[in-house]
Amino acid sequence: MQNKNNESLAEYAAQRQVDAYNDKDIDAFLDCYSDDIELTYQHSGEVFCKGKVEMRAIYGSMFNRCPDLLCIIVKRIACGEFAIDEELVNGQVKGKTIHATAIYHVNQNGLIDKAWFMRDE
């Protein structure tokens, strides 16, 4: 399914959450995710967040601590219900740009229900 900008549902959901992340708008950010969201570190398989309550605590704290937080999308690939973003994240660690990859699974309601993250160490 595509929207009026010719984006897939997965691309649209991924972009909505990046925009809310960059605005540090926790409510708009959480609106992009399903209630049973699971966030996983790909390299270890560790699920570091389950559900919106936990997600609000993690990301709300980060948004408050990191006023210069900014995620720049280097490249996005969409395939079916998946969006894969190569990202440069600034403001999370002072003076450091983090090179990361995020994989988002988007359900039929247009909400991200699983995400996997990896980054250069």
| Domain parsing of the chain, residue ranges | 9-119
What pLDDT is stored for residue 94 in this prediction? 87
Span 73-100, pLDDT tens digits: 999 999 999 999 999 999 998 889 999 9
Please say if the pLDDT value at position 28 is more than 70. Answer: yes
Closest CA relative to residue 30, chosen from 8, 52, 61: 52
User: Do 22 and 71 form a contact (C-beta atoms < 8 A)?
Assistant: yes
Mean pLDDT of the chain: 94
Please say if the pLDDT value at position 3 is more than 80. Answer: no
* DSSP H helices in 37-111: 52-65
Q: Does domain 9-119 have CATH number 3.10.450.50?
A: yes
All residues at 6 or more sequence positions from 10 whose CB lies less than 8 Å from its CB, including other chains? 78, 79, 80, 81, 82, 83, 104, 105, 106
